[in-house]
Amino acid sequence: MKLEFRKKVNHIFLHIGARKLLRFVSMNPHVVEFRLTENCNSRCIMCNAWKNRSVNELSAEEVKDALNQLRGVGIDTVIFLGGEPLLRPDIGEIIKEASLLKFRTIMLVTNGLLLEERAEELLKNGITNLSISVDGFGYSNETIRGIKGGFEKAVNGIQKVQKLKADTNSNVVVSILTNLLMKQNVDTIPELVEVSRDLGIYWSFNLLDSNLDIFKGIPFSDILIEDAERIDKTIDYLIKVRKESPELIFCCEHMLNYARGYLKRENIKKYPCVLGYEALHVGSHGEILPCWIMEPIGNLRATKLCDMVGTKKHRELADRIYRRECPGCTNLCMYNIYSKHLISHVVRCGRKSQKNPRVPPRLAKIET
């Protein structure tokens, strides 16, 4: 009880946005993004992950040991990423270990190309959340992701999961994640939302972020939305659907309006980023980072996690992130909307979000 109270106090102090309160905040991350592999079987136009040929990645036993250490420092939510995590033949074994360790949320983010054939394995071993990256409706998804029939494969995989859920009375939360809003897909978002409605799942999105390693070197001028009217039309539609069906759209109105300004490249005020205090990131070779765009605080192959979390270096990096003295990213869409709208977000959006399926606090920056 005392621990839960302390976590709530930490959360409030962080989101108030006053640096003087940081001395009362403990380093207490509760969510981890775990990149299981750099390799990918998509060929996305906005991502370099599919060009990777990574070797010597963490073995199944090393991943299991990492999960034990993460649980030991208080992590209760694990998000498995890639590349494409379903390329790992041992993914079921890894999910089972996370389930045995009683992580509250065990999420896997996939492009869906292998989902249909591996769905039963995932559900049987204890997955709680599945996020399937679909960036466009039909042919537009193929244009963006470079795989013929990719849209149908993803939908077939979701349908298989939904059938297994019904057959086994499972409570797995399923969503479509549109990785990036760009000019190639912005007009098809309503169709994707309706697909999500028909499948009985929810829809969410990410924003362009040139500072992530997998996006560096991508010619963003080829995918940026130049027409403000197209942006307004899509965001207005999403806000309308969110008001009518809050269980369908994960992103609240504050987040959607942040996305509107970001996509229009408006000068958005910088608010503190709490990511360094509330999350950890594990690379496929054991790197431990407070954020994907910052330097590591160590490596699991050389140092125990308990000897890295809360160290002077960890806190210094977290403080730099909080002050936004970092390369910058789009985490404000999810993590710091509270800092700007702390009270009104809780009152206006918190109650509605209770109708939404259980999801971890951060979906931004998913690399599948």
Instruction: Note the pLDDT tens digit of each residue in 165-189.
Output: 999 999 999 999 987 889 999 999 9
* pTM of full prediction above 0.75: yes
Of the two residues 267 and 74, the one the predictor is more confident about is 74
Residue 59 lies in a domain: yes
User: Quick one: which of 12, 28, 18, 10 has its CA closest to 323?
Assistant: 18
- Per-residue confidence at 332, pLDDT binned at 50, 70, 90? low
For residue 309, give every residue at least 6 positions away whose Cβ sits within 8 Å of its Cβ, in sequence order, or none.
27, 29, 73, 280
Core vs surface per residue 170-201: b (16+ CB within 10 A) or e: eebbbbbbbbbbbebbbbbbeebbebbbebeb
Look at residue 38 and tell me whether its pLDDT is greater than 70: yes
Residue 358 lies in a domain: no
Helix, strand, or coil here: 128?
Answer: coil
Residue 368 lies in a domain: no
The H-or-E segment that residue 79 falls in is: strand 77-81
Q: Are the beta carbons of 186 and 162 closer than 8 angstroms? A: no
Of 109-118, 218-227, 249-258, 347-356, which one has max mean pLDDT? 109-118
Of the two residues 278 and 220, the one the predictor is more confident about is 278
Average pLDDT of the chain? Answer: 86
Residue 10 lies in a domain: no
Residue 359 to residue 109: CA distance in whole angstroms: 12
Q: Is 48 exposed, middle or buried (0-12, 13-18, 19+ CB in 10 A)?
A: middle
Instruction: Note the pLDDT tens digit of each residue in 51-65.
Output: 878 899 999 999 999
Residue 116 lies in a domain: yes
Instruction: Note the pLDDT tens digit of each residue in 194-205.
Output: 999 999 999 998
Of the two residues 300 and 339, the one the predictor is more confident about is 300
pLDDT, residue 257, reads 86
Helix, strand and coil in the chain, % to nearest 5: 45, 10, 40
Residue 295 lies in a domain: yes
Instruction: Note the pLDDT tens digit of each residue in 81-112.
Output: 999 999 999 999 999 999 999 999 999 999 99
Q: Are the beta carbons of 345 and 252 closer than 8 angstroms? A: yes
Core vs surface per residue 104-135: b (16+ CB within 10 A) or e: ebbbbbbbbbbbbebbeebbebbbbbbbbbbb
Task: Calculate mean pLDDT across residues 229-255.
Answer: 91
Number of domain units in the chain: 1
Which domain covers residue 50, as residue numbers?
30-353
Residue 13 lies in a domain: no
State what percent of residues in the chain have pLDDT above 90. Answer: 57
Residue 16 lies in a domain: no
Look at residue 359 and tell me whether its pLDDT is greater than 80: no
For residue 7, give every residue at least 6 positions away whose Cβ sits within 8 Å of its Cβ, in sequence order, or none.
28, 30
Q: Are the beta carbons of 223 and 182 closer than 8 angstroms? A: yes
Helix, strand, or coil here: 343?
Answer: helix
Q: What is the CATH number of the domain that holds 318?
A: 3.20.20.70
pLDDT, residue 112, reads 96
pLDDT, residue 350, reads 56
**Which residue spans within 137-211 are E strands per DSSP?**
173-178, 202-205
Task: Calculate mean pLDDT across residues 221-234.
Answer: 92
User: Quick one: which of 229, 211, 210, 230 has its CA closest to 220?
Assistant: 210
Torsion, Cα 65 68 70 75, to 10 degrees, reads 150
Look at residue 1 and tell me whether its pLDDT is greater than 90: no
Core vs surface per residue 78-90: b (16+ CB within 10 A) or e: bbbbbbbbbbbee
